[in-house]
Structure 1
Amino acid sequence: MKTVRHSEHTLRTALISKNPALVSQYEKLEAGERRLMNEAFQPASDLFGPITVHSQSDWITSHPEPPQDFEEFFSDPYRKTPSPEKCSIYIQCIGPLGNTQIISEEYVKWLKSYCEAFFYGLTVKLLPPVPVSATKCSFRVNENTQNLQIHAGHILKFLKKKKPEDAFCVVGITMIDLYPRDSWNFVFGQASLTDGVGIFSFARYGSDFYSSRYKGQVKTLQEKSSHDYSVFDNYYIPEVTSVLLLRSCKTLTHEIGHTFGVRHCQWLACLMQGSNHLEEADRRPLYLCPICLRKLQCAIGFNIRERYKALVRWIDEESSGTPGVTPKHSREDNVNLPKPVEAFKEWKEWIIKCLAVVQN
């Protein structure tokens, strides 16, 4: 394992810039916000630490990228910023997300309200869920996992056609595995930043994904027409555990973050770090480092204190009852399932520490 550690001077410049106009912009932030962001270049900070690289297969080693500081983000002529006319984030469910309709509905509500807190100040809306057949995408059985996969690129085209007038971006979410082209094994997600659309799968976040397999129906699928979507009827769906919810929130906010022009972070441990595999994605924190936080604040215009309070409220709200796994079978009536948030405990404690710094 090695540590990617930058000097205080480098981190200070990456956050504040040497451009007098951007320095002035930074100095106009609230004192508490500056106090929190200044933690980026405090060596003894217990809020923000360096990136750790555990193997050669980790993203930062295997995908060399130029780092993006705040000034580069601010000056990027291609980045998109929400406007009064286009200020909504839309979520499109493709196929069921839970073992019953009520689990699907509650799960996507949890994701929606989390995104509203994370991207504080923007509206998040749900598009009516659609079956896989509505996308007219190609699909296949993966040779390694023997699980069904749907074509990510075809779904992006579907989302682009459905994009509402007031949409800043549209993100599709599914519990079915994705592949971007025939030669690829799989992909967690794919996005088109120019079109403001993305598709993300949470299938591999389920604890039993690799043991589920497609129940020996590969031969049956090969005999079917490639447009016969009945193979997805009653298809395997992972249980919505607290860990799966945490992973889903992390992936969704990371990928939506890219639509604002925030590139992969190479400064500090941060949600916007790239990840090559699930172990690396799990190591990535739920929070933004100060440099990426300033980028997102610049794009949206939120108050950092109020944003953190909204995230704490999300963890605390609707979470009464016994935490744990959502039931495999649930009566289809009007009940609220307890939100499984035990995996968010450390995240909440970290936010409370940040609030103490901001509010001092």
Structure 2
Amino acid sequence: MDTNLISDSCLCVSFRQMQVVQHSEHTLKTALISKNPVLVSQYEKLTVGEQRLMNEAFQPTSELFRPITVYSQSDWITSHPEAPQDFEKFFSDPYRKAPTPEKSNIYIQPIGSLGNSRVISEEYVKWLKGYCEAFFYGLTVKFLEPVSISATKCSFRVNDHTQNLQIHAGHILTFLKKKKPEDAFCVVGITMIDLYPRDSWNFVFGQASLTEGVGIFSFARYGKDFHSSCYKGTVTKAKRTSSSEYSIFDNYYIPEITSVLLLRSCKTLTHEIGHIFGLRHCQWLACLMQGSNHLEEADRRPLNLCPICLRKLQCALGFDVVERYKVSGRRGRREVENP
């Protein structure tokens, strides 16, 4: 895993503090199509429209898919070296799972309140559901009834840096594993409470288990005032004395649901569910599956998958790429016109 990501197969152009990770056409073509005759044959069976879109991955003048720009040493691709995953590695991964007719639903489990009123919560859920069904075209997305923090029996703490409440991501995954419906491909929890994966970590946006088909994602840090001194989720010293009881979560602050928070939520949800399908962090082109260390980096990620990651998802779901984009476009227009 200690592979140098900026290898001989890519050109790194530096200016000021930024680096553009520009892979060669040959490297991108191999990452997408493979040299394996079986996988090449599969690629050649795609429709003309599908191949035309996919081939944009290795066109140097493409306006659709851009190279990755690294803005600082704190960005994910620099600070978390990982072995790149091309299509062939994805295809041959023995731990990769795909939906079956018996397990073809994505379940989303709200943990705690998602909005400061029932109407807002339901509207937020409707948008998330619609977006996920368009993104994971061919699967059904179902929402489970919300559960309280206390129902999960998770550990929690007050973050030393932000003074905000956090719940233990690993304990939530254990809870979701026990509650996973029989017909679920995966079940993911979403919450407006901040997460931490272990005592030594400051926070985590989300965590997922590929083998168990479960994930938990927090949208708490997507609120516009999370890092401000006036954030209403800050736990006062008086309240902290009773933080051994789950009552501390009663009427806990929920950030306002804005269009920016919704956009960030959609990105995180689809990115993390992508991991459950076996997609690793993308290191080829600007892509939704790029890792992110901080909110600024997460905001720079596009909504779309690059062609290499798109082929991986298509392999898992079997959709027609062009039809997926057409249906997604029609659904998006309907929801904008009839919010």
| TM-score (ref. length: structure 2) | 0.92
Contact 1:91 1:171 in 2 (8 A): yes
Give how far 1:136 is off. 1.1
Pick from 35, 50, 53: which aligns with 1:36?
A: 53
Give how far 1:309 is off. 1.9
SS at match of 2:166: strand
Aligned to 1:348: none
State the percentage of identical aligned residues: 79
Aligned to 2:81: 64
Deviations 1:1-25 (A, max 9, x none): 0110111111111111111111110
Deviations 1:117-169 (A, max 9, x none): 00000111111111111111111111111111111111111000000111111
Per the alignment, do residues 139 and 216 of structure 1 end up closer, same or farther by CA in structure 2, a change over 3 Å counting?
closer
Question: 1:222-301 maps to which residues of 2 (within 5 A)?
Answer: 222=241, 224=242, 226=244, 228-301=245-318
Contact 2:164 2:235 in 1 (8 A): no
Per the alignment, do residues 305 and 230 of structure 1 end up closer, same or farther by CA in structure 2, a change over 3 Å counting?
same
After superposition, the CA RMSD in angstroms is 1.3
Aligned to 1:99: 116
| TM-score (ref. length: structure 1) | 0.86
Q: Tell which deviates more after alignment, 148-157 or 213-222.
A: 213-222
Pick from 128, 131, 141: which aligns with 1:114?
A: 131
Aligned to 2:181: 164
Highest relative contact order (Cα 8 Å, sep 6+), 1 or 2?
1
Aligned to 2:70: 53
**Paired amino acid for 1:234:** N
- 2: CA distance, partners of 1:237 / 1:225: 18
Aligned to 2:238: 219
Per the alignment, do residues 52 and 215 of structure 1 end up closer, same or farther by CA in structure 2, a change over 3 Å counting?
closer
**Paired amino acid for 1:67:** P
**Paired amino acid for 1:91:** I
Per the alignment, do residues 96 and 7 of structure 1 end up closer, same or farther by CA in structure 2, a change over 3 Å counting?
same
- 2: CA distance, partners of 1:32 / 1:319: 27
- 2: CA distance, partners of 1:218 / 1:199: 28
Contact 2:165 2:234 in 1 (8 A): no
Is 1:138 the counterpart of 2:155? The answer is yes
Aligned to 2:5: none
Contact 2:177 2:214 in 1 (8 A): yes
- 1: CA distance, partners of 2:126 / 2:236: 33
Contact 2:65 2:285 in 1 (8 A): yes
Give how far 1:247 is off. 0.5
Give how far 1:213 is off. 4.6
Deviations 1:284-339 (A, max 9, x none): 10000000000000100011122112222332223347xxxxxxxxxxxxxxxx4x
Structure 2 unaligned runs (5+)? 1-17
SS at match of 2:279: coil
Structure 1 unaligned runs (5+)? 322-337, 339-360
- 2: CA distance, partners of 1:216 / 1:71: 48
Give how far 1:183 is off. 1.8
- 2: CA distance, partners of 1:7 / 1:92: 42
Contact 2:168 2:197 in 1 (8 A): yes
Is 1:13 the counterpart of 2:33? The answer is no
